[in-house]
A and B are shown apart, each in its own frame.
Chain A
Amino acid sequence: MRLYEYESKEILKEYGLSISRGIVISRDHPEEIEQQDLNPPLVLKAQVPVGGRGKAGGIIKVKNVEEAKRQLLSLFDKNINGYAVQKILLEEEILADRELYLSLSINRQEKSYSLVAGALGGIDIEEIAKSKPDTILKLSISPLRLINNFDVLAISNHLSVPMVRIDPIVRQLFSIAVELDAELVELNPFVIVGNTSVILDAKIIIDDSALFRHPLLNELPPRGKTKEEEEAARIGLSYVSLNGNIGIIGNGAGLTMATMDLLQSKGGHPADFLDVGAGAKSDIFRKSIHLLMKNDRVKVIFVNIFGGLTRGDEVAKGIIEALGSEPPKKPIVVRLAGTNAIEGGELLRKNGVSAYSSPLEAAVSAVSRVGSTP
């Protein structure tokens, strides 16, 4: 779960790190800006769960409070890389000679933590890594030992920041990652002002699988999800919305992805990724069909199931239950293989639903029926 900047900064503050002074203003209560006691110049920052907001107009610098008030409403009206702005962080602008970068993340290949320090902060780290790789220092740190003095010294030397300034930041990054199960803690940028280091922007991503042991974080509202995705999550489905018009239901992440790829290769356009998981019973299929039936973007439903633990007759039962006595509003094409596929196929055909054993024939059929009536 990606935390918003203001949530990330609250955590940094709890861990004793310095952040710029600011207040959070929500969309429904723009009058909250009246409670501010900040010293101009100020900066308005849209809180969206996506990168590149600066380029998309999500950050506005203002000279005084009057200007902030004027800009506030127009920023709430903006769409930042596909996301409506629900909250705005109003902060004191901090000017410094040098902006620096520091992050801690989990390195999948090396199976370690990656501690990355950049002498040029405030810019996208991936771009800098390509254009000026010498400005970046990357340390691979085993989870068996975590952070040590010599690591901090390497960072201190690379960034030309005294140990006493950088040590607390580096160590707290590890504390946050370990104690809160963060996949990423990124400070971009932070600056050195006089005797203190101040973090100007931060991003924390918490491991979804670990939310069960962080009740406070687990209660935060979902973010970065479309309405369809939120609804599917409530039913307990693994769901991602896509732009096409063929609704997909599959079992297993790999097979469902392969189904998307197959449809695309036959000229179709997937409307979603919906993985019912292993051993799903009829009620899951019923709910999945309902979900796609009421989605206007979906013109055809394509169910692709290979039964291991999942049984073909359960798939068929669920689909038939979902249709009820009404004729289907959209064509449904089903491909069944594996456990009880023959029983399931017969049950479906008896109820007027097309069932195939070949995924290719089923995919071609689904693509050909986009735009046709059932």
Chain B
Amino acid sequence: MIILHKDTQILVQGITGREGTFHTRLMMESGANVVAGVTPGREGSSVESVPVYNTINAALSKHPHIKMSVVFVPPAQCFDAILEAIDAGLQWVTVITEGIPVKDTLWLVNYARYKGSHIIGPNCPGLISPGKTKAGIMPASAFFPGDVGLISRSGTLTYEVGSGLKENGFGVSTAVGIGGDPIVGTSLLEATMMFEADSETNTIVVLGEIGGDMEEELASAIKEGAIMKPVVAFMAGMTAPPDKKMGHAGAILQFGASSAKDKLELLVAAGAHPARTPWEIPDVLKEITQNTISLGK
């Protein structure tokens, strides 16, 4: 598993909001160790028996081992909330919120790097290590524990693929959604490198899409030999028209950028295994597993 351990202490920003409260309960049901929540002005109350504080520093004074914040704060207040988490020295900030201005994310991602924090998202479903812990909104029922590292730019597609793996006897070590915005804190490559270093992960599944060039960056790294574990890649948006935002703010095929087909071809040329649809991924994994076994003989 990557990023979190089973017992990693988690804080929820915006815990008293509708989404914050609902998902805090679901996270805890999935094993997450949520020890504190933050909503300015609500100190002294509790949500799902988790104590609420006015500020992150107040929470840290009672729970000094918090490693991650999960942010459910509305877009207009997000800059402030994320900055507070970075300056409080939290190692990870997972931002679920959709619709944060790109300028805010751009600044925060650079600032986080400078301060030694890592942002996951924004506009992401977070991550789950099935049976162990969860930070975010992924439905636990879609995932089964196993040795596949799953990385995605899209929420629902992650659940769809997780569920398909489960039906076919595969499970995931961790599934992580890196977010659908033009600028995200953790890239496909960074997430892949974490799975490469993870002893519980044997294969890596990457769900990319049109927009940006994170897939190209990943392809170069595979080609250079930085990733030795087998990578299965699917690219959404093969039939997307140019210059239209396809649901995600970051899913736009701009002039001069690679199409989904180009991205997949680059990854395949670098050595990744292609899946033409998300539903084909379990079959591709079966082939890889069989080949590995026969090579072992």
Which A positions have Cβ atoms within 8 angstroms of B?
Answer: 51, 106, 108-109, 111-113, 126, 129, 142-144, 177-178, 181, 183, 207-210, 212-213, 238, 240, 242, 250-258, 260-262, 264-265, 270, 273, 275, 278, 306, 308-309, 337-339, 359-360
Question: In the complex, are the beta carbons of B247 and A306 less than 8 A apart?
Answer: no
18 contacts between A and B (CB under 8 A): A106-B103, A108-B211, A111-B110, A143-B103, A181-B102, A240-B246, A251-B156, A253-B156, A254-B209, A254-B247, A257-B154, A258-B236, A261-B239, A278-B156, A306-B160, A308-B138, A339-B139, A359-B279
B269 interface residue, CB < 8 Å from A?
Answer: no
Closest A residue to B235 by CB, please name it.
A261
Partner of A126, one of B100, B110, B255: B255
Residue of A113, A144, A273, A278 with most chain B CB atoms under a 10 A cut-off: A273
CB-CB contacts below 8 Å: B103-145 with A: 103, 106-107, 109-111, 114, 137-139, 141-142
Q: Given that A126-B256, A261-B237 are known contacts, is A144 also in contact with B114, CB under 8 Å in the complex?
A: yes
Query: B211 to chain A: which residues have CB within 8 Å?
Result: 108
Question: In the complex, are the beta carbons of B139 and A209 less than 8 A apart?
Answer: no
Question: In the complex, are the beta carbons of B213 and A240 less than 8 A apart?
Answer: no
Partner of B207, one of A183, A207, A254, A278: A254
Question: In the complex, are the beta carbons of B247 and A275 less than 8 A apart?
Answer: yes
Question: In the complex, are the beta carbons of B156 and A306 less than 8 A apart?
Answer: yes
Query: B183 to chain A: which residues have CB within 8 Å?
Result: 106, 108, 111
B159 interface residue, CB < 8 Å from A?
Answer: yes
CB-CB contacts below 8 Å: B230-281 with A: 234, 236-241, 244-251, 255-256, 260, 276-279
Partner of A257, one of B110, B111, B141, B209: B209
Question: In the complex, are the beta carbons of B217 and A109 less than 8 A apart?
Answer: yes
Question: In the complex, are the beta carbons of B249 and A208 less than 8 A apart?
Answer: yes
Give bound CA distance, A250 to B210, whole Å: 17
* B111 → A minimal CB distance (Å): 6
Give bound CA distance, A8 to B277, whole Å: 42
Question: In the complex, are the beta carbons of B248 and A253 less than 8 A apart?
Answer: yes
Question: In the complex, are the beta carbons of B241 and A240 less than 8 A apart?
Answer: yes
Shortest beta-carbon contacts, A-B, top 8: A254-B154, A252-B156, A253-B247, A254-B157, A210-B101, A308-B139, A257-B236, A275-B247
Query: How many B residues face the partner with a CB closer than 8 A?
Result: 61
Question: In the complex, are the beta carbons of A112 and B110 less than 8 A apart?
Answer: yes
Give bound CA distance, A262 to B277, whole Å: 7
* A124 → B minimal CB distance (Å): 9
Closest B residue to A240 by CB, please name it.
B244
Query: A177 to chain B: which residues have CB within 8 Å?
Result: 103
Question: In the complex, are the beta carbons of A270 and B239 less than 8 A apart?
Answer: yes
Give bound CA distance, A181 to B104, whole Å: 9
B155 interface residue, CB < 8 Å from A?
Answer: yes
B 65-105 to A, binary, CB cutoff 8 A, 1 in contact else 0: 00000000001100000000000000000000001111100
Query: A262 to chain B: which residues have CB within 8 Å?
Result: 277, 279
Give bound CA distance, A256 to B156, whole Å: 9
Partner of B182, one of A108, A113, A126, A212: A108
Give bound CA distance, A257 to B260, whole Å: 11
Closest B residue to A363 by CB, please name it.
B277
Query: B213 to chain A: which residues have CB within 8 Å?
Result: 108-109
Question: In the complex, are the beta carbons of B212 and A109 less than 8 A apart?
Answer: yes
Q: Given that A213-B76, A254-B156, A337-B163 are known contacts, is A309 also in contact with B139, CB under 8 Å in the complex?
A: yes
Partner of B101, one of A144, A207, A275: A207
B152 interface residue, CB < 8 Å from A?
Answer: yes
Question: In the complex, are the beta carbons of A309 and B103 less than 8 A apart?
Answer: no
